[in-house]
Amino acid sequence: MTALPPKSDVKLGLVIDLDTCVGCHACVVSCKGWNTENYGAPLSDQDAYGENPSGTFLNRVHSYEVQPEQGAAQTIHFPKSCLHCEDAPCVTVCPTGASYKRAEDGIVLVNEDACIGCGLCAWACPYGARELDQAAGVMKKCTLCVDRIYNENLPEEDREPACVRTCPAGARHFGDLGDAESDVSKLVQERGGMDLMPELGTKPVNKYLPPRPKDQGNEIDILAPLLAPIATETSGFLGWLDRTLEKI
Amino acid sequence: MHPAPSVILFSVLSGLGFGMLAWLGIGKPPMTGMFAFVFFFIAYALSVGGLLSATFHLGNPKNSLKAFSQWRTSWLSREGCCAVAALMIMGIYAIGAIFFETHWVIIGGIGAILSIVTVFTTSMIYAQLKTVPRWNHWTTPVLFVSLSVFGGALMTGQVTVAMYGFVVVGLIQVIAWFTSDNRFASSGSTIETATGLGNIGKVRMFEPPHTGTNYLLKEMVYVIGRKHAAKLRLLAIILMVVIPVLMLGMGAQHGVKAIVAVFSHLVGVFASRWLFFAEAEHVVGLYYGKRG
Ligand code: SF4
Ligand code: SF4
Ligand code: SF4
């Protein structure tokens, strides 16, 4: 049913720390690895070894440069996957009921057996969290690894989303954001966790922790003068080699 | 947004077809028998042909029947339901007109209303999307419905109605274009709100998440051809409205003038609809540094 369920108390989601993410893309790879062989159709690639490779991913890492009014610019890596919004516009637009939000834990999923591949849900999502798989013709999106987090066949430490399990920097946290006492909720509280594009009224469950304040970066390292290039023209053996090679 | 030919074809043709059905449903022109058959045949060819071409846009059409189930929330589902209802009711009316020389007024009236409502639901699929500020406005349904109504008037030979109607359509189209140009900028979404990093400073894309393209870029960050937008707008309005109005003003009931009016209008609507998609900017482009 594509009507949104009544507000659930459990809101499973991710908290992503923009301060610690190093932009390694390990979460992108582990996400694709797990999800291409589990829930639903595989995540296909087109022209994977050719000139214009493209493919379906449920999690992607952007990198931004932010220039403060004063001081040095900062590079911020920015992982993005479905935010499992409370007022998910991608759910209500679906004509078939394939796109739905679970009442029990708030996870937003696609039932691929009912999806017609119209793409309207991807249009309705502000965050680019949905991609129509070009081989299967059905909509793919982050499942919050619903097939891991409740999976009793996995060791307990693996019962979290693949991206969270993989992240070497500890930049990804998984938990119940509906419970004010949970670790993730406390983290959001402490660090001022924020919503993406709040003006669109989607009420994302996933939160982003802003980068901590950085030093101004105005001081130049005392070793810097030693790093200045010394010779602009090559001389000696290297110079001879250079000139000789030029002539050949 | 990617101007998919199947969707443009669908929305233009079925809009015109349902517009025709609406006029036929209220008995204009009041034809029966063979003449009525010809009109109904064209109207059905356009509306059904349009609907069929829309299914080419689907990635997985085998589940299409399920699309009638979510009319409570989904405009796309409502469109499907209304379209089928309109076609069935107008089918009954057409049987009366063609085979029994009668116009079942109430059935025709209901069919006419359903036909227009179908076009309205189509327009709402686009107008509902907050993620595409250019579409998220009352001008979208007003333009779609008025194009359908007066395009239908042209196709059913209502010369005067079509002529004055097209002037109105032209006005709405111009309002739609000029009010939409700033809507993305004034919607309040920026790369700063998208990333939440605005209170540190000015944000710019440093590295995209992938070196190649992907579904999102192809579908929603379409930028090709925008530089010709101004010329295309002029062309669209001339073909869609100006030439048909001139032809109708010279009394294009039949013959060459009527054909020119219809053909020019159709090409103009295609151009306008192409621009409707090609010019529309989706907020996801912000994440790729592709907006503003
Ligand atoms: S992030 Fe996009 S796909 Fe996920 S729930 Fe929100 S609107 Fe839907
Ligand atoms: S692509 Fe599938 S899940 Fe998305 S709106 Fe269409 S039918 Fe629903
Ligand atoms: S694995 Fe962790 S550190 Fe690496 S890109 Fe993903 S979130 Fe960032």
Separation between Cα atoms, residue B74 and residue A95, nearest integer Å: 5
Q: At what angle do helices B255-278 and B139-155 cross, to 10 degrees?
A: 160
CA B107 to chain centre: 25
The pLDDT of residue A225: 76
- The span from the CA of A43 to the CA of B125, in Å, is 28
Which residues, including other chains, have CB under 8 Å from residue B274's CB and lie 6 or more apart? B3, B8, B232
The total of other beta-carbon atoms located within 10 Å of residue B211's CB is 9
Rounded Cα distance between A71 and B89, Å, is 69
Coil/strand/helix, residue B271:
helix
Q: Which two tokens stand for residue B173?
A: 């189209």
Contact B283 A197 (CB under 8 A): yes
d(CA A51, CA A165): 32
**pTM for the whole thing?**
0.91
- SS3 string of B222-240? CCCCHHHHHHHHHHHHHHH
Whose Cα sits closest to atom 4 in ligand 1?
A: A82
pLDDT confidence of residue A140 = 97
Interface test with A, best of B53, B58, B60 (most A CBs within 10 A): B60
Would you state the structure tokens that stand for residue B113, as one six-digit string?
A: 């209303």
Task: Identify which ligand lies nearest to the alpha carbon of B80.
Answer: 2
**Helices and strands of chain A, counted as H and E runs:** 7, 11
Residue A110 phi/psi, 5-degree rounding, is -115, 125
Domain ranges in chain B are: 1-128, 137-292
Give me chain A's average pLDDT, please.
92
- Is B75's CB within 8 Å of A93's CB? yes
Q: In angstroms, what separates the C-alpha of A24 from chain B's closest C-alpha?
A: 11
Count CB neighbours of A235 within 10 A. Answer: 9
Question: Which residues in B lie closer than 8 A to residue A138 (C-beta atoms)?
Answer: 59-60
User: How close A209 gets to chain B, by Cα (Å)?
Assistant: 9
**Contact criterion met (CB < 8 Å) for A195 and B196:** yes
pLDDT tens for A202-231 read 999 999 999 998 877 666 777 877 777 766
Pairwise CA distance, residues A186 & A208, whole Å: 13
Contact by Cβ (8 Å): B79, B46: no
Ligand 1 centroid–CA A82 distance in Å is 5
Domains of chain A: 12-209 (3.30.70.20)
Extended strands (E) in B170-224? 202-207
Query: pLDDT value at position A235?
Result: 72
Tell me which DSSP letter residue A20 carries.
T
Supply the pLDDT for residue B196.
96
Q: Is there a contact between A63 and B63 if contact means CB atoms under 8 Å apart? A: no
* Strand intervals (E) in A5-158: 12-17, 45-46, 54-55, 59-67, 74-81, 99-101, 108-110, 130-132, 139-141
Residue numbers of chain A with a pLDDT score lower than 50: none
**8 Å CB contact between B3 and B277:** yes
Top mutation candidate among A25, A62, A63, A160 for ligand 3, by most atoms within 8 Å of CB: A25
CB pairs under 8 A between A and B: 200
Ligand 1, pocket residues at CB < 6 Å: A 82-85, 88-90, 108, 125, 127, 129-130, 141, 202
Please choose, from the candidates A134, A142, A140, A102, the residue with its C-alpha nearest in 3D space to the C-alpha of residue A121: A140
Atom of ligand 3 nearest to the CA of A172: 7
Task: Kindly report the length of chain A.
Answer: 248
Q: Give, for all 292 residues of chain B, the pLDDT tens digit.
A: 999 998 999 999 999 999 999 999 998 888 888 889 999 999 999 999 988 888 888 999 888 889 999 999 999 999 999 999 999 999 999 999 999 988 899 999 999 999 999 999 999 999 999 999 999 999 999 999 999 999 999 999 999 999 999 999 999 999 999 999 999 999 999 999 999 999 999 999 999 999 889 999 999 987 766 778 889 999 999 999 999 999 998 876 678 888 999 999 999 999 999 999 999 999 999 999 987 5
CB atoms within 10 A of CB A48: 9
> Residue B154 corresponds to which amino acid?
L
Partners of A54 on chain B (C-beta within 8 Å) are 210, 212-215
Residue nearest to atom 4 of ligand 3 (CA): A24
Structure tokens at B79: 């469109």
CA B143 to chain centre: 8
> Which alpha helices (DSSP H) does chain A contain, by range?
26-36, 89-92, 120-124, 146-149, 162-166, 183-191, 236-247
Name residues contacting ligand 3 (CB within 6 A).
A 21-27, 61, 77, 79, 166-167, 169, 171-172
Nearest Cα neighbor of B267 from B247, B286, B290, B241 is B241
Q: Which residues pair with A65 in a beta bridge?
A: A75, B204
